């Protein structure tokens, strides 16, 4: 075949290809223009359900707030019910609601699930019971804290002050294996009685600067350690025969750097710039009395109120027994009297400052 014939055939092929491309492009243009390619679609099988859901009274009420007195309870109840059948979906709704606190969106999440649950009579009956609960919920809502002493202005000042020490308390918790929230709990007992708006020192220094009250006389530092208690804590760290001995790895936690021990002890406990030793002495004491009681056969490792009471009354009153009593110093706050142990207990389980001082992963307040 000659070169001319090859060139001629190639040219014809190229022209045909371009012609076909042009034809398809033109056809596509007119098909789109004339709506020939439009998918007419279909009405969803559940369209009626979607319409009914959109007309729900709660979605039509423009004045409905995201959260009302009963709405949270309804959502949490329905989540609890759903968890019996579909725990994964229950957790997804729980996480979303806790993050947004949006009642309407939570209800819509349940509406979406009901596409698959509407024929489940058992779960629907339980969901319907939420409406009955809502109608029967009565009582006067109180927006203040049920722990009355946490409603005072001084408590707000204390929280701002202690948050500054979060890293220090965490560090001591790591060194001693004592729950950071337990350490904070005994601090609460010591500080709240000093957070008195009628006292000159509070008005002049503590409240304006949002700092912790520092004791320098009978008790020392922010955690109120007495000198003789500090000496006992140091001694028991190294006395292997003592019931308070907590182990070799802790023996050197309170070693002194100078020969003037009395002066160094005082300065380390009242140091207003660094509260490390104030928390360290407190944590070690708690661990020592816990170990003493465990050795005697009485586990108080999850008894915040007892540990706090012992912290307040000291080693001399730490006598292991089957029925320990909660108490300690009487602290008067706004006309009501509390005990040291009860204040620590109420704070620990109040949920206040839970981000800064979380609960331990297990029920025990000590890791070892």
Q: How does DSSP assign 156-218, residue by residue?
A: HHHHHHHHTTHHHHHHHHHHHTB-HHHHHHHHHHHHHTT--TTSHHIIIIIHHHT----EESS
**Can you give the pLDDT at residue 176?**
97
Which of 29-33, 174-178, 212-216, 312-316 is predicted least confidently? 29-33
pTM exceeds 0.85, yes or no: no
Residue 37 has pLDDT above 80, yes or no: no
Examine the domain organization and report whether 193 and 228 are in the same domain.
Answer: yes
Which of 187-201, 271-285, 317-331 is predicted least confidently? 187-201
Which residues span the domain enclosing 274? 148-348
Mean pLDDT of 240-263: 96
Q: How far apart are CA 308 and CA 311, in angstroms?
A: 5
Residue 245 has pLDDT above 70, yes or no: yes
Question: How many structural domains comprise the chain?
Answer: 2
Residue 93 has pLDDT above 60, yes or no: yes
Examine the domain organization and report whether 198 and 102 are in the same domain.
Answer: no
In a domain, 314, yes or no: yes
pLDDT in tens, 194-207: 776 557 766 777 77
Examine the domain organization and report whether 79 and 166 are in the same domain.
Answer: no
Around Cβ 140, how many Cβ atoms within 10 Å?
A: 5
Which of 89, 116, 136 marks a domain boundary? 136
**Can you give the pLDDT at residue 66?**
44
Mean pLDDT of 235-251: 97
Examine the domain organization and report whether 160 and 114 are in the same domain.
Answer: no
Q: What angle do CA 208, 210, 212 make, to 5 degrees?
A: 125
Examine the domain organization and report whether 61 and 124 are in the same domain.
Answer: yes
In a domain, 12, yes or no: no
pLDDT band at 20 (very low <50, low <70, confident <90, very high): low
């Amino acid at each position: 075949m000659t070169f001319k014939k090859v060139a001629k055939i190639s040219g014809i092929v190229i022209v045909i290809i371009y012609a076909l491309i042009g034809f398809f492009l033109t056809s596509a243009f007119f098909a789109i223009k004339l709506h020939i390619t439009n998918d007419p679609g279909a009405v969803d099988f559940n369209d009626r359900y979607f319409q009914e859901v959109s007309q729900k009274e709660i979605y039509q009420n423009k004045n409905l707030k995201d959260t009302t007195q009963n709405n949270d309870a309804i959502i949490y109840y329905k989540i609890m019910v759903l968890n019996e059948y579909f725990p994964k979906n229950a957790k997804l709704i729980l996480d979303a609601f806790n993050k947004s606190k949006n009642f309407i969106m939570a209800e819509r999440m349940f509406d979406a699930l009901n596409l698959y649950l509407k024929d489940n009579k058992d779960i629907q009956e339980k969901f319907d019971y939420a409406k009955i609960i809502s109608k029967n919920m009565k009582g006067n809502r109180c927006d203040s804290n049920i722990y009355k002493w946490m409603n005072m202005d001084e408590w707000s000042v204390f929280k701002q002050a202690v948050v500054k020490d979060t890293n220090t308390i965490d560090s001591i918790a790591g060194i001693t294996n004592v729950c950071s929230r337990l350490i904070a709990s005994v601090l609460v007992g010591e500080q709240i009685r000093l957070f008195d708006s009628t006292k000159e020192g509070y008005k002049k220094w503590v409240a304006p600067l949002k700092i912790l009250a520092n004791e320098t006389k009978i008790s020392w530092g922010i955690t109120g350690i007495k000198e003789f208690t500090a000496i006992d804590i140091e001694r028991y760290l190294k006395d292997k025969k003592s019931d308070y001995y907590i182990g070799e790895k802790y023996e050197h936690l309170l070693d002194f750097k100078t020969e003037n021990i009395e002066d160094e002890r005082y300065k380390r406990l009242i140091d207003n710039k660094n509260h490390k030793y104030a928390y360290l002495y407190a944590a070690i004491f708690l661990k020592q009395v816990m170990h003493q009681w465990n050795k005697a056969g009485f586990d108080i490792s999850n008894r915040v109120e007892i540990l706090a009471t012992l912290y307040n009354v000291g080693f001399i009153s730490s006598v292991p027994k089957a029925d320990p009593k909660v108490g300690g110093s009487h602290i008067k706050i706004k006309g009501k009297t509390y005990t040291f142990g009860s204040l620590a207990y109420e704070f620990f389980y109040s949920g206040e400052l839970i981000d800064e001082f979380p609960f331990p992963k297990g029920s025990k307040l000590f890791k070892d």
